[in-house]
Amino acid sequence: MTSEHFHVLFLLLFCVLHSSEQTCPSKCLCMSDTVRCSSVGLHKPPQSLPSFPANLDLSHNHITWLEPNTLTMMPRLEKLWMAHNEIRTLSRNLFRNVSGLRLLDLSSNRLQMVEQHYFHGLWRLEELRLFNNRITQVEDSSLSGLSSLKKVYFSFNQITYFPFFSIQDHTHPFLAMLDLSSNRMSSLPLDDVKALPQLVQQGLYTHNNSLICNCSMYAMFWHWSLREYNSIKDFTDEHTCNVDGDLQRPIRFFRDKRFFRNCTVERTVTEPVTVLLSDVVVFVGDRVRLDCQTSLSSTNLSFTWLSPSRGFITQSSMDDTLISMFPDGTLEIHATTISDSGMYLCTAVDIKQALNGTREVNVTVLLPASEPFNTGYTTLIGCMVTLVLILAYLFLTPCRCSFCKQPPVHSNQGTLSCILSSFTREQPNIDTLKHVAFREHPMGEERIEWIPQS
């Protein structure tokens, strides 16, 4: 057999192997960039998955285990659905060749814990679904390295503790939803929760847990309600707690307020508002505080504010009586003016560790809204006066008193003459008493003349 024959044979073998790799697995449906193998009774993934799909659906099967090389030949994979299976754990390096994965759905399985190595290498992952499993523990660094993460769902599990401290500005800058609802947490590490990035706080869902009632937790939820976070607005009645651990008598934070009457959370009218939002709207003359809360946790920080109207502001350069700066970096404007509107940038610097963090707050100062002129009362009074004058015009009899000299005019003019004459009659000490008479002008107009009494 010549070398040419070997060459032809090699090409044929390569074509056969290549075509087998791209063959759609049995029981699956393959189309353009998607392979769908859901609800076909699989107990393990197909042996030969094609390399072209960006979407792989293996949901609603009986899969219990994924081999480390299951996804090795699928470098284009972006979305993986594994929901409604029987997976109990994930092997190491399972996702080592699919770093472009953006959606991972492992909901409704039998996972019992989330280990540190589970999602290693998925730095482009944006959405992680782990709800409705049997998870009791989430290891501290299990979400580390997921720098593109936007949404994480841990609801409907058995989690009693979550490492909130592992979520920081520089580790998860895009995280906007952290759903921990319907678990078994009896308390929340309030200091760690309050230190979360503001975007995470706005999207933190903790309702339907086994929380023990206390004033600190009530105060936190109350402030979230004041800032109209969606987690509070959408699940107001589901935010409950238990008194003395009694799970049979849940207390609703926002309905059963009598249980929290001794908790001091409401501020007085003169107390300044500490702004934790990225955008704030105030009126001229309001007193407001802008916090400089960043991801840095050191107690030895220096703070610098860049103000749109006052330039750079530091504690050492404070010479303005209209503003104050606190040791924690909070900037207070005593009485806001229109010129205080704009973007405020705070920079926190840790000199020892050579780290810095920034925070931006956009402030809008509005003029006080003027009270609308209420024309209802004035209209009513005008109608009543008009009605009285019309009744007087129609029903008052002409004056027949002897001292009224009625000119030869209509009866309504005589009536008015009588009324006006009665006013002059009540002045007894005037020698030359006068009264008013109405006469017709030659041109058809009316004029008033003062005629001395004879």
- For residue 39 the two structure tokens come to 């609800």
Query: What is the C-alpha to C-alpha distance for residues 360 and 363, in angstroms, rounded to an integer?
Result: 10
Reduced to 3 states (helix: H, G, I; strand: E, B; else coil), residue 256 is coil
Amino acid at 190: L
Nearest to 229 by CA among 265, 259, 203, 206: 203
Reduced to 3 states (helix: H, G, I; strand: E, B; else coil), residue 316 is helix
Q: Tens of pLDDT along the chain (454 residues)? A: 555 544 434 444 444 334 444 688 888 999 889 999 999 999 999 888 888 889 999 999 999 999 888 898 899 999 999 999 999 999 998 999 999 999 999 999 999 999 999 999 999 999 999 999 999 999 999 999 999 999 999 999 999 999 999 999 889 999 999 999 999 999 999 999 999 998 999 999 999 999 998 888 888 998 898 888 999 999 999 999 988 766 677 889 888 877 787 776 544 333 344 444 466 777 888 888 888 887 777 778 888 888 888 888 887 777 667 788 888 888 888 888 888 888 888 888 887 766 777 888 888 888 865 444 455 667 778 888 888 888 887 777 665 555 555 555 444 444 444 444 443 444 444 444 444 444 444 444 444 444 454 4
Q: Are strands 240-242 and 250-252 parallel, antiparallel or unpaired?
A: antiparallel
Query: What is the C-alpha to C-alpha distance for residues 336 and 345, in angstroms, rounded to an integer?
Result: 17
According to the CATH classification, is domain 273-366 in 2.60.40.10?
A: yes
Query: What is the C-alpha to C-alpha distance for residues 149 and 169, in angstroms, rounded to an integer?
Result: 12
Phi-psi region of 133 (alpha: psi -120 to 50; beta: other; left: phi over 0): beta
Bridge partners of 240, per DSSP, are 252
- Residue-range domain boundaries for the chain: 273-366
Q: Do the Cβ atoms of 368 and 284 come closer than 8 Å?
A: yes
